[in-house]
Amino acid sequence: MVHLEHHRLGLLTVANDGSTGAARVNVYYSSFSGGNDDWLISPMFDLSSGTHYLNLNVALTAYASTASTTFADGDFVTLMVTEDNGSNWTELYRWDVNNSPSATGDEMPEIDLSSYTSMTKFAFYANSDTSNIDNDFFIDDFQITTTSLGIDEASRSQFTYFPNPVNDVLTIKAQKAVEDITVYNMLGQVVKRQAPNTMNCTVDLSTMQSGAYFVQVSIDNTVETVRVLKK
């Protein structure tokens, strides 16, 4: 079980082709392990205020390849949600042989999260019971917003950030004031939070251990999250 690397990097995922920042889960049956049963889990999101919407992109390739492929019969990946920290999960969307994503990335239909009004986690559950087809499933551009996004709107990020990887200080430049910045570690724990209320700001990561972090940025009632590597 690993935590979801969720990002806002562009309209389409370029799967297994350079460094796109996409999260990946392998969908493959192994007789040694008795199958394939993997999870990618997000940090906790507070959906208690207002209506929220979920948008993301996915891609499917043959294992360690950029080649197009399809799910095998019986193989699938589902998007799940929980409001009790994982004791119970509800399926929101499923990808299988009937709707296999392309290798260059497809948008998932936007999901209205208005029925969720508490602390909420999301997860991608991958299952393969008997297949001998080895596939990689990618998730990118994961974002939760308070306004519905069309395809054109979803393709535009509201800020840039650099450098990545970062040694000490991450710089964020936006078109509007950055209202809030929250940094999560890979366990989904908040390790830093600030409210700069400026278009250009910095995040001091110098005291943090090397590794991957999620930086969640709130601008004009829209939340985007990027993955940053700390050297």
Residue 187 CA from chain centroid, whole number: 14
State pLDDT tens for residues 195-218. 999 999 999 999 999 988 888 888
Does 2-150 match 159-230 in CATH topology? no
* Partner residues linked to 112 by β-bridges: 53
Please tell me the distance from the alpha carbon of residue 185 to that of residue 187, in angstroms, as a whole number.
5
**At residue 228, what is the residue type?**
V
Region 159-230: CATH code:
2.60.40.1220
Whether the Cβ atoms of residue 162 and residue 171 lie closer than 8 Å to each other: yes
pLDDT of the residue at 193 = 93
State pLDDT tens for residues 96-150. 888 888 888 888 888 889 888 899 999 999 988 766 789 999 998 888 888 887 6
Considering only CA atoms, give the Rg of the chain: 18
DSSP string, 11-31: SS--TTSS----EEEEE---T
DSSP string, 174-219: EEEEEEEEEEE-TTS-EEEEE---EEEEEEE-TTSPSEEEEEEEEE
CATH superfamily of 2-150: Galactose-binding domain-like (2.60.120.260)
Closest CA to 142 of 43, 29, 15, 60: 43
State pLDDT tens for residues 153-195. 444 567 888 888 889 999 998 888 999 999 988 777 889 999 9
- Where exactly are the structural domains of the chain? 2-150, 159-230
